[in-house]
Amino acid sequence: DAGVIQSPRHEVTEMGQEVTLRCKPISGHNSLFWYRQTMMRGLELLIYFNNNVPIDDSGMPEDRFSAKMPNASFSTLKIQPSEPRDSAVYFCASSLALGTGIGTGELFFGEGSRLTVL
């Protein structure tokens, strides 16, 4: 079975450019998460969706960040305009939420998108 698929794996861009990261969750999973990982702060939740609906976006740093999930098999995280401090590894993860979306089942992570903003 294919796991969580993220693209691109690596992105180098210049400050001010728009960046779009993509994620395909595991088929059948109903929860999708976007995380950011840095050496200083570790893994931080940015936003998560349940049944394609954003549930908690309190971790999104600021208005420059936006995320969408137009259908059950695709999500994007967009940064516009990008800044050097956005440089990090961005992970997408998916899970099958227990019951009616309450509780988190096992979380499956993608391989991450390493973003470098110059």
What is the contact surface with other proteins in residues (CB under 8 A)?
4, 31, 33, 42-45, 48, 50, 55-56, 91, 93, 97, 102-104, 106-112
Nearest in space to 36 (alpha carbons), one of 48, 26, 27: 48
| CB of 74 or CB of 108, closer to other proteins | 108
Least distance (Å) from other proteins to the CB of residue 30? 11
- Give the Å distances, CA to CA, from 37 to 21, 45, 90: 14, 9, 6
Residue (16 or 28) nearer to other proteins, CB: 28
Answer for the pair 43, 35: CB distance below 8 angstroms, yes or no: yes
Rg for the chain (alpha carbons), in Å?
14
Rounded to a whole number of angstroms, the minimum distance from the CB of residue 56 to other proteins is 7
CB of 8 to other proteins, least distance (A): 14
